[in-house]
Structure 1
Amino acid sequence: MLVSAAVCPCPPLLVPALAAGAVSELDAARDACADALGVLAASRPDRLIVVGPAPGPRDLEPYPQGAHGSFRGYGVDVDVTLGGDLTSPNPPNPPPLPTSLAVAAWLLANVGWSASPIHGLGVREPLDAERCIKTGRDIAAEDERVALLAMGDASACRTLKAPGYLDNRAAAFDAEVARALSTADVAALAALDETLAAELKAAGRPCWQILAGAAEGANLDGALLYEAAPYGVGYFVAAWS
């Protein structure tokens, strides 16, 4: 059963070593992520599942506790481990963490997570809503007390300089996601338009819909802790408990 959830964005710039001179621009986002993870820890979960966008090749790629990731591809000598160096013997050599889960690993290490074991799940885009919701239901059924951390950004089309250029639909899309996250509106997240989300490059859509499936019947309350689009990309931090 899902007892708590958090939503965090996953830009590599959340890792201070990558932000360099712009490190202070995301200080508020880092603080909000730490607060959201605190809500997860306070719920005393038996297991934390971290889901994040991944390039594939599988629709759903599991990552055991102890899986490693790196930001060396971004030009900095920073390595991370998901939840401590306790790699499961099966599989013996897990693939490297995708960027979204590497950012999650950094966030969890930053708060010294020790509340429960951690398992990661890379979600390949596009994964249809029905599959996402079923995946969320399966996650919630894994233990009596499950916490979920859903990584992912909102639209990447908020300004002319955004990665996806300006799309006038982006602000309204992000506003609806923000409203749903702030009120723990499971139905609204489940109903997000997959095609529109893809056109707006909203990479978090599949993970938010996994959250929707996991939270069915859990009667959680929501709080939006951070909302901004500093680089033309929507970033949200939310906590459900």
Structure 2
Amino acid sequence: MLVAAAVCPCPPLLVPEVATGAAPELDAARAACADAVGLLAAARPDRLYVVGAAPDGGHGVHPAGSTGSFAGFGVDLSVRLGEAPAGDGDEGARRALPTSLAVGAWLLGRAGWADAPIEGLGVDGAATPDVCAGLGRGLADSAGRVALLVLGDGSACRTVKAPGYLDERAEDFDAAAARALGTADTAALLALDTGLAHELKAAGRAPWQVLAGAAQGAGLDGRLLFEDAPYGVGYFVAAWS
């Protein structure tokens, strides 16, 4: 059963070593993410799943001990998703973490997470809401007390300098997503338009809908801890408990 969830953005710039001189620009987002991850630990879960968009490959399960790298962003920095179970030495069977899960691993490492076993799930950005919800229900049913760290960004079309240029529909899309994330409204998350999300380059849509599936019937309350659109991309941090 899902007992807690944290929603965080996943730009590589969240990692100070990647952002370098621009690092202070996302200090407020980092602080909110730290608060959200801390609330996950307070829920004392039996298992934590790190769920993120995988547009760069890496769909499917990533077991504990999987590693990711920010070398593609010019930084010699590697991260690990928790520790592999004792006696599990099959490093070759683990695929590299997609960027979203690497950011999640960095957030957990920064928090010193050692509260529950971890597993990663990279979500195909083309997955339908029904498929995403089914994945979420499977995660929620996998242990008595389940927590999710969900990584995903909103639209990338909020300004002319945004990665997707300016799209006048982006602000309304992000506002609807922020309301749903801030109120733990699973129906509203599942109702986010797949086609519009794709056009607006909102990579968080599929992971958020996995969360919605996991939370159905759980009776969780939500709080929006951070909302902004630096660099023309919608970033949200929310905590559900």
Q: Shorter chain as normaliser: what TM range? A: over 0.9
Structure 2 CA distance for aligned equivalents of residues 55 and 184 of structure 1: 25
Secondary structure in structure 2 of the residue aligned to 1:7 = strand
1:159-199 deviations in Å (ceiling 9; x for gaps): 00000000000000000110011111011001111011111
- Gap change, CA 1:15 and 1:57, over 3 Å in 2: closer
Aligned residues: 240
- Gap change, CA 1:103 and 1:57, over 3 Å in 2: closer
Structure 1 CA distance for aligned equivalents of residues 5 and 215 of structure 2: 8
Give the alignment of 1:1-241 within 5 angstroms: 1-55=1-55, 60-86=59-85, 88=88, 92-241=92-241
- Structure 1 spans left out of the alignment, 5+ residues: none
163-172 vs 92-101, which moves further: 92-101
Secondary structure in structure 2 of the residue aligned to 1:4 = strand
Structure 2 CA distance for aligned equivalents of residues 227 and 23 of structure 1: 17
Opposite residue 196 of structure 1, the aligned amino acid is L
- Gap change, CA 1:152 and 1:240, over 3 Å in 2: same
- Structure 2 spans left out of the alignment, 5+ residues: none
- Gap change, CA 1:90 and 1:135, over 3 Å in 2: farther
Structure 2 CA distance for aligned equivalents of residues 145 and 198 of structure 1: 33
* Structure 1 residue 73 displacement after superposition: 1.1
* Structure 1 residue 56 displacement after superposition: 6.4
Structure 2 CA distance for aligned equivalents of residues 96 and 90 of structure 1: 14
Structure 1 CA distance for aligned equivalents of residues 26 and 225 of structure 2: 13
Structure 2 CA distance for aligned equivalents of residues 185 and 25 of structure 1: 30
* Structure 1 residue 89 displacement after superposition: 5.5
1:10-68 deviations in Å (ceiling 9; x for gaps): 0000110011110100000001000000111000000000111113657x411111101
- Gap change, CA 1:136 and 1:89, over 3 Å in 2: farther
Secondary structure in structure 1 of the residue aligned to 2:231 = coil
Opposite residue 26 of structure 1, the aligned amino acid is L
- Gap change, CA 1:156 and 1:68, over 3 Å in 2: same
Identity across the alignment (%): 63
* Structure 1 residue 93 displacement after superposition: 2.3
- Gap change, CA 1:180 and 1:103, over 3 Å in 2: same
Structure 2 CA distance for aligned equivalents of residues 227 and 82 of structure 1: 26
Q: Is the 8 A contact 1:56 1:124 kept in 2?
A: no
1:72-116 deviations in Å (ceiling 9; x for gaps): 111111110001354855785211111000000000000000110
Q: Is the 8 A contact 1:56 1:123 kept in 2?
A: no
Relative to the length of structure 1, the TM-score reads: 0.96
* Structure 1 residue 124 displacement after superposition: 1.5
Q: Is the 8 A contact 1:4 1:146 kept in 2?
A: yes
Structure 2 CA distance for aligned equivalents of residues 15 and 41 of structure 1: 21
Relative to the length of structure 2, the TM-score reads: 0.96
Structure 1 CA distance for aligned equivalents of residues 113 and 153 of structure 2: 22
Structure 2 CA distance for aligned equivalents of residues 94 and 124 of structure 1: 18
1:187-230 deviations in Å (ceiling 9; x for gaps): 10011110111111000000000000000000001000000001
Opposite residue 80 of structure 1, the aligned amino acid is V
